[in-house]
Structure 1
Amino acid sequence: MTTNILFLSTPKRWAEYEPPLTHALAATGLDFRLAEELPAAEVDYIVYAPGGATDHDFTQFPRLKAVLSLWAGIETVIENPTLTAPLARMVDHGLTQGMVEWVTGHVLRHHLGMDAHILGQNGIWEPIAPPLARDRRVTILGLGTLGTACGRALASLGFPVSGWSRNPKTVEGITCLSGPDGLKQALSTADILVLLLPDTPATRDLLNAQTIAQLPQGSVVLNPGRGTLIEDAALLAALDSGQIAHATLDAFRIEPLPADDPYWAHPKVTVTPHIASETRATTASEVIAENVRRGEAGEPLLHLVDRALGY
C-alpha cells in the first residue's frame, strides 16, 4: 500500500527538500508518494514548515497519522485546535552541530575579547590577555538536545558550565540546576549566558528586569533560542546601564527584524539572522524518512511533542 506524504510549506522549500527527501524515503524501502498537492482524504503524513499562514485546518485529513515538523520550534502549530494527530519536532545532527558551532564561536568571541581586535584599536597597544576558559563561567538555560550538546562542547574547552532546566537533569561535565532556586543560582554565576529554552508560557520573558539583575555585572547574553525568552525593553535598559556588556541575538519576536528596531543600531548588540539552528535539508530529510518508516512499522515516533509541556 502506498504511503502518501504531503509537503505543506512553500514552493521554495519544496524545491530545496524534494530531492533529498525523495532520496531518504527511497532508502527506507517504502512504497510512497511525496507531493506538494494530494487529495486530503489520502494524506498519511504531513511534512510541515509554514511559510505564511499557520492556521491550517488539519481536520480535512481524515487518515492523518502524524505531522512531522521541519523546525525545532513548534510554537506556530502546537496550539492549533484542529491538530489532534501526533506532532514530531525536528531534532537532527545537522541542526545540533550548527547550534554547537554558533554557540561555541560566539562564546569564544566574547571570552577572548575578539571584537576589540577585529574592529581596530586606534593605534593603541594594549597587551591585555583574557582569563583562561576555566575562569569564565558559562550558564545555559535549557538542557534539551541542543543545550546539552552546547554545554558538553564548552565544558570540553575548559569552561565551567552550569545548565538550568525546569525539571532535574544529570549531564556529565555540567553543573545541573532546576527550579526557581536553581535558576537564581544559575544566573548568579553566568559570565556568559546562553538561552536555549523552548517558547512556552512558562519561559516567555524569562529574561526580564528582575532576572537580569541577578546576573553578574558586565555579563554577556547570547540568544540563539527564541525571541520571546527576552523582555526586550529590559535588555536594552541593562545594556545602556552596563549591567549587560553585550548581547548577541539570533532570534526575535518579529522576524525578519524590522529595520527600525533599536537592536540594529545599539553599539552593544550583535544581530544574526536566525541562522544558529538552521535546518539542513539533507540531514532533516533523514529524520523525516525515519519517522515515516517508524510510523508504518508501528514503532514509536522520534521527537514527539508533549503538548502538556509545550515542546
Structure 2
Amino acid sequence: MPLMPDLTLLPWHEVRDPAEVDAALCWRPPEGWLASLPNLRLVHSLGAGVDHILADKDYPAAVPLVRLVDPYMTQAMTEYVTFQVLRLHLGTPAYDRQQRAGRWEPHVPPRAAHRRVGILGLGELGAAAAAALVALGFDVAGWSRTAKALPGVACFAGGEALGEFLARTEILVCLLPLTAATDGILSAEAFARMPRGAGIINVGRGRHLVEADLLSALEAGQLSEAVLDVFPTEPLPAGHPFWTHDRIVVTPHVAALTNPETASLIVAENLRRLAAGGSWPDRVDLASGY
C-alpha cells in the first residue's frame, strides 16, 4: 500500500512543468536543476550526507534542505565501525598477511580498556558508534567542532583540541561531514600527531583523506593499517594503489547504505511535515554544511 497515495513521484528527467514541483528527493542532482524549480519548497537528501547537494553553486539558499536520519542507517554504520575497530584491535589484518605467507605468529592484544579509540565527528552516526565501543569496554574519545557530552566518552571540541585528541588515538574513525573545514583533515599533519603504528577507518567522505599522505604514512610505519569505505572518485578506479596495498582494506561505500524500506518512512514523514507547514528536526544549517 502506498505511503502517500495522493503524491505524484517523477524521475527528474520526466518533469514536464518545473513549476509543479514542490519537493525534490535527491542524491546528486544535476547542477542548476534545483534552482530551475520556481516553486520548490523542500530538498530532501536520500543519504546521511548533503555535501553532494551543496556542491551545486546554484543551490537555492531559501529552500530548506533536510538530511536523511534513519535508525537503520545508524545501526548499519555502528555495526560496520564496531567490526572494523575490532579487526584492528585484535590484529586481524596481520593474521591475514601471515596466512598468505604461511606463518604462525600469535600475539596477545591489549585489553579493550587499554585501547584508545577516537571518533572524529559526534553527530548522529558518530555518537552511536562511540556508545557501542564504550559498551565493549574501549577507551573512547570523540572530537567535534562544538562541545558535546556523551556518557563514557572523553569529548574534545574545536580546532585547538584536535592535536590533543589525535595524540591519544590509536584507532581513528572519521565520521565527519564534508565541509571546507574538514576537507583533507586526514593528512600527514594529523597522522604525525597520532601514536606510531596507529590505524585509521574512514567512513566519512573520500575527500577527508589526503591519499598520498596515507600511502607515505603507511610506508614509514607511522600508520599500520587503514580501512577505507569512501573515496573521492567512486567506484575506485582500476589500477589505484589502494586496491593492492596489503595494509589497506577497501570496501565499496557500504558502511551505511540507504534502505528503501526504512528510508521511505522517514521521507514520507518529512513530506507530511511539508504539507503541515514545514518544520524538520533534521534540517541542515546551510552555513555549516550539516
Give TM-score scaled by structure 2 length.
0.92
SS of the counterpart of 2:51? Answer: coil
Q: 1:246 aligns with which of 215, 218, 225?
A: 225
The equivalent of 1:63 in structure 2 is 39
| Structure 1 residue 184: Cα displacement | 0.8
Percent identity, aligned pairs only, is 44
Distance 1:254 1:99 in 2: 21
SS of the counterpart of 1:77? Answer: helix
Distance 1:126 1:212 in 2: 28
| Paired AA for residue 233 in structure 1 | A
Distance 1:119 1:209 in 2: 25
Q: Once the two structures are superposed, what CA deviation does each residue of 1:66-95 show, in whole Å capped at 9, x if it has no partner?
A: 011101221122143242311111111111
Q: 2:7 aligns with which of 25, 32, 49?
A: 32
Q: Given that residues 200 and 225 in structure 2 are in contact (C-alpha distance below 8 angstroms), is that contact kept between their aligned partners in structure 1?
A: yes
Tell me: CA distance 1:265–1:125, structure 2 relative to 1, closer, same or farther (3 Å): closer
Q: 2:281 aligns with which of 297, 302, 305?
A: 302
The equivalent of 2:88 in structure 1 is 110
The equivalent of 1:91 in structure 2 is 69
Distance 1:142 1:104 in 2: 15
Q: Given that residues 291 and 302 in structure 1 are in contact (C-alpha distance below 8 angstroms), is that contact kept between their aligned partners in structure 2?
A: no
Q: Once the two structures are superposed, what CA deviation does each residue of 1:211-237 show, in whole Å capped at 9, x if it has no partner?
A: 110000000000011111111111110
1:174 aligns with 2:191: no
Kindly report the root-mean-square deviation, in angstroms, between the aligned alpha carbons of the 2 structures: 1.7
Distance 1:242 1:178 in 2: 28
Distance 1:59 1:103 in 2: 37
Gaps of 5+ in 1: 1-21
Distance 2:39 2:104 in 1: 69
The equivalent of 2:133 in structure 1 is 154
| Structure 1 residue 60: Cα displacement | 3.0
Distance 1:157 1:145 in 2: 19
| Structure 1 residue 118: Cα displacement | 4.5
Q: 1:207 aligns with which of 168, 186, 211?
A: 186
Tell me: CA distance 1:137–1:57, structure 2 relative to 1, closer, same or farther (3 Å): same
In the alignment of these two chains, the number of paired residues is: 284
Q: Given that residues 164 and 176 in structure 1 are in contact (C-alpha distance below 8 angstroms), is that contact kept between their aligned partners in structure 2?
A: yes
